[in-house]
Amino acid sequence: MADSLLSSPGLTTYDILSRHGVSRRDFLSFCAITAASLGLEAQQVPAVVEALETKPRLPVIWLHGLECTCCSESFIRSSHPIAQDVVLNMISLDYDDTLQAAAGHQVEQIRKDLIEQAKRGETEYVLAVEGNAPTKDGGVYCTVAGETFLDVLRETAEHAKFVIAWGSCACNGCVQAAAPNPTGARPVHECITGKPIVKVPGCPPIAEVMTGVLTYVLTFGRLPELDRVGRPKMFYKQRLHDKCLRRSFFDAGQFVESWDDDGARKGWCLYKMGCRGPTTYNSCATFKWNGGVSWPIGSGHGCIGCSEENFWDDGPFYSRLAKTPLPGIEATPQKVGIALTAAAGVGIAAHLAALAIKRGRAAATENKAKEA
Ligand code: SF4
Ligand code: SF4
């Protein structure tokens, strides 16, 4: 680990990997898999290979504010056999409170030196932030080497090429910012201005997503295309609901009603148990967790929407998203219309309503046929 933290200026990712005994075949395989996960065409794989072979590693300053370090835990457990080597060697991790071997004023000086070099135009660096900044009472609830985290964050962001906000703490505030937010915790984009920021939310974000974002940034020297809330579209464009293995049960109106009922045993839809998959955008259904072993919904627990804003305050967990009629439950089209109006703008309502209307029409046709 200590070796990977050495700056080794001028060395490329591939130089470092070769020194660590990674074969060229494994390296090319990683580039192909990573390019695919980024949604790149096959003909763009050489661009990834070339970038990792020729571009000097990217200096990264990785700050930790109020957080639990689950993002770092996720990051160092990438599932591809050489992904750990790649992610920890593709960047020059010059400063990281939790992974660095050195400590104290020595590492604070490394951070300040890098900032000075960037000021003089001698280098560029990326600022990665895990956690958020408490702003109440002068920011005293999180300090580093005698400085408030808020000041450290602002000072480091000022000369960064761009900023990566890791996890829901940095992106949205997460549990620290949940009401009543006693420390005045604020996500990164509310603490700094004038810098391009990519948000990679999740509690934690998926390792492959973090690896993918870093690979993209290193390969193309810019941030990927972002969605309306600042997340990379390539990983956050799809609702969990749309790729969910339980979706056919949702469409059929077959729902788990309690954790130990027959529906739970049969793997039915978890919507009535509070699943937020219909309003959550993330890659869990694609990459899954722990090297693709499973994911929360696959294991029988509904999604709690950890990659969405204010997910702690949008509770309670384990209760249905919206009081809309469900497929498989008796509802007239009129009742559906009233519910739809109340839930305007909620996509799930429209879907459920469409199903209920379809059923209503089918029932009406059946009744007419009987009357005739
Ligand atoms: S509500 Fe949840 S469990 Fe049901 S289909 Fe949608 S994402 Fe899957
Ligand atoms: S299933 Fe939902 S709550 Fe769980 S990690 Fe994925 S987005 Fe977060």
pLDDT digit string, tens, across residues 43-58: 888 988 888 888 887 7
Confidence of residue 130 (pLDDT cuts 50, 70, 90): very high
- Are 76 and 97 contained in the same domain? yes
Indicate which CATH number applies to the domain containing 122: 3.40.50.700
Q: Which residues line ligand 1 (CB under 6 A)?
A: 240-241, 244, 246-247, 250, 269-271, 275, 277-278, 297, 302-303
CA 336 to the chain's CA centroid: 34
Q: Which of 285, 288, 261 is nearest to 272 (CA)?
A: 261
Q: Which ligand 1 atom minimizes the distance to the CA of 277? A: 7
What pTM did the predictor assign? 0.81
User: In the listed set 236, 258, 282, which residue is the last one of a domain according to the structure?
Assistant: 236
Q: What's the confidence (pLDDT) of residue 175?
A: 95
Q: Are residues 307 and 366 in the same domain?
A: no
Going by alpha carbons, the residue nearest to atom 5 of ligand 1 is: 247
For 67-118, how does the pLDDT look when each residue is reduced to its tens digit (9 = 90+)? 999 998 888 776 654 555 555 666 667 777 777 777 788 888 989 999 999 9
216 CA → ligand 1 middle, Å? 30
245 and 212 share one domain: no
pLDDT in tens, 213-263: 888 887 788 999 999 999 999 999 999 999 999 999 999 999 999 999 999
pLDDT for the residue 362: 53
Tell me: do 288 and 340 sit in the same domain: no
* Statement to judge: residues 37 and 97 lie in one domain: yes
More confident of the two residues 356 and 278: 278
Cβ-based neighbour number of residue 269 at 10 Å: 27
Most confident residue range from 35-49, 145-159, 335-349: 145-159
- Does 68 share its domain with 172? yes
* pLDDT tens track for 171-227: 999 999 999 999 999 999 999 999 999 999 999 999 889 888 888 887 788 999 999
CA distance from start to end of the chain: 79
Share above pLDDT 70 across residues of the chain, in percent, rounded to a whole number: 80
Residues 150 and 17 in one domain: yes
Are residues 170 and 183 part of one domain? yes
Centre of ligand 1 from the C-alpha of residue 250, in Å: 7
pLDDT at 27 over 70: yes
C-alpha 69 – ligand 2 centre gap (Å): 17
Least confident window among 85-89, 117-121, 311-315, 367-371:
367-371
Average model confidence (pLDDT) across the chain: 82
Q: Which atom, in ligand 1's list, is nearest to the CA of 280? A: 7
pLDDT at position 346, please?
42
Return the CATH number at 300. 4.10.480.10
Angle at 203 between CA 100 and CA 279, to 5 degrees: 155
Same structural domain for residues 205 and 344? no
Q: Count structural domains, the chain.
A: 3
Whether pLDDT at 273 is above 80: yes
Q: Which of 220, 236, 252 is the last residue of a domain?
A: 236
**Nearest bound ligand to the CA of residue 256:** 1
Range of the domain at 245: 238-321
Q: In angstroms, what CA-CA distances link 10 with 15, 87, 105, 292?
A: 10, 17, 26, 35
- State the average pLDDT over residues 330-353: 40
Per-residue pLDDT at 333 exceeds 50: no
Query: Which ligand minimizes its atom distance to the CA of 279?
Result: 1
Residue located nearest, by CA, to atom 6 of ligand 2 = 284
Which tokens is 14 given?
Answer: 């591939």
**Nearest ligand 1 atom to alpha carbon 240:** 7
**Are 222 and 257 found together in one domain?**
no
Q: What are phi and psi of 285, to 5 degrees?
A: -70, -20
Q: How far apart are CA 49 and CA 44, in angstroms?
A: 9
Compute the distance from residue 296 Cα to the ligand 2 centre, in Å: 7
Q: What is the percentage of the chain residues whose pLDDT exceeds 90?
A: 51
Greater confidence (134 vs 95) lies with: 134
Residues 156 and 62 in one domain: yes
Final residue belonging to a domain, choices 207, 236, 265:
236
Q: Is the pLDDT at 160 greater than 70, yes or no?
A: yes
Q: What is the pLDDT of residue 3?
A: 41
* 214 & 283 share domain: no
